[in-house]
Amino acid sequence: MLKMLRSKLVFLVSFFIFCAVPNGTATEGGSERLVPPELLKGAELEILWENKLPIKKGESLEQLFILGNRIYGLSNRNFMVSLNREKGNVIFSRPIANVGLPVTGLGLYEGGLFSIAGNKLVEINPESGTERSVKRLEFGVACPAVRNGSYFYVAGTDRRIHIFRSEDKVQVFEVAAESDSIITSIVADEDFVVFATDAGDVISITPDKPGKLWQFNAADGIARPIVTDGKSLFAASKDTNLYRLNLRTGKLVWKYQTGAMLEKGPVVTEGMVYQYARNEGLSAIDKERGKLLWQLAEGVDLLAEADGKAYVITNAETLVVMDNKKAKQLYCVNLAGVSRHAANVADSKIYIADKSGRIACLRPVKNR
């Protein structure tokens, strides 16, 4: 078994600007549109499609997942709806777990969905939502499972990663960090697996046996998720640092220090890393140099990027458009009632929803 007040010139975006709210703005749970089209024109956005997820009255939409060419909505009663994310039509809608069971993550591998429902590793048919296979686990689950072509990697509350053959779900080995700490996040490839812990370990192992490739140690726990991008891995730590590591060697490329414990992993795009920190908002960091470009105090998450612009959701129920190169705020759109979103790094489409299940896909007008 493996045991293994900075002084920077910062562009701080002031958020005290007016976001117009026209008559007819939708209220959550109401019958009007999620976002009136006229509200989007100033920000050069348009509605590509809208839909209302078939969830029952009194039930609420809790999570959105973007996987491949689909977007999935999961309710608080474990009812899942799959939509084609280009057109918004429903592919399937059905319960994927009993009410009250925790559903931990949703993954996609070569067209097949998988998740952890309660103490079961479940493979799901992406066309019907029905179960293809179920593996009962003898342990609780600490974070979402991942897989490659040969194995599933499932982190247990027993502080170990359990490795199951993908073909028959037979466990072949398990690993743990030398710190014997809870695993917070895993990424898997055909050539390596990397996992992080709440003690600050970031460890790369061989995918088919318990052999350590490298280890990096932060001073405190690593937030979920860790993110791979090309030859790099990005990890946000409670020690206030965002780390960029060489994925093959584990060596530090750069670190960016925030002023807060990081409790959420970064969003990584082609040229940028977006990191949320409590009381600081969303920071946009140059991916190559690790230097801060701008910081939006009310920013919560990236929605999408397009043509050098970042579309940001805020805790004031607004959408802010930022010019990344000029570190300048361009537009502000009122999104009153919008409380659910999914960060999209695949293209420029924006996905937003409310608790009642109204969902919309927006896109920049110039990117048709």
- Give the other-Cβ count within 10 Å of 288's Cβ: 13
pLDDT of residue 19: 66
Q: Which amino acid is at 103?
A: V
The rounded Cα 117 to chain-centroid distance in angstroms is 19
Read off φ and ψ for residue 95, nearest 5 degrees. -70, 140
Half-sphere exposure of 183 (CA within 13 A, CB side): 32
Nearest CA to 4 among 177, 160, 258, 254? 177
The distance in angstroms from the start CA to the end CA of the chain is 53
pLDDT of residue 22: 44
Read off φ and ψ for residue 366, nearest 5 degrees. -75, -10
- Give the other-Cβ count within 10 Å of 240's Cβ: 20
pLDDT of residue 34: 95
Read off φ and ψ for residue 38, nearest 5 degrees. -65, -20
Mean pLDDT of residues grouped by 10 in the chain (368 residues)?
40 48 41 87 95 95 97 98 97 97 96 96 97 97 98 98 97 97 98 98 97 98 97 98 98 97 97 97 98 98 97 97 97 95 97 97 82
Note the pTM of the prediction, 2 decimals: 0.92
Nearest CA to 188 among 153, 218, 154? 153
d(CA 242, CA 223): 10
d(CA 264, CA 296): 16
DSSP 100-157: T--EEEEEEETTEEEEEETTEEEEE-TTT--EEEEEE-SS-B-S--EE-SSEEEEEBT
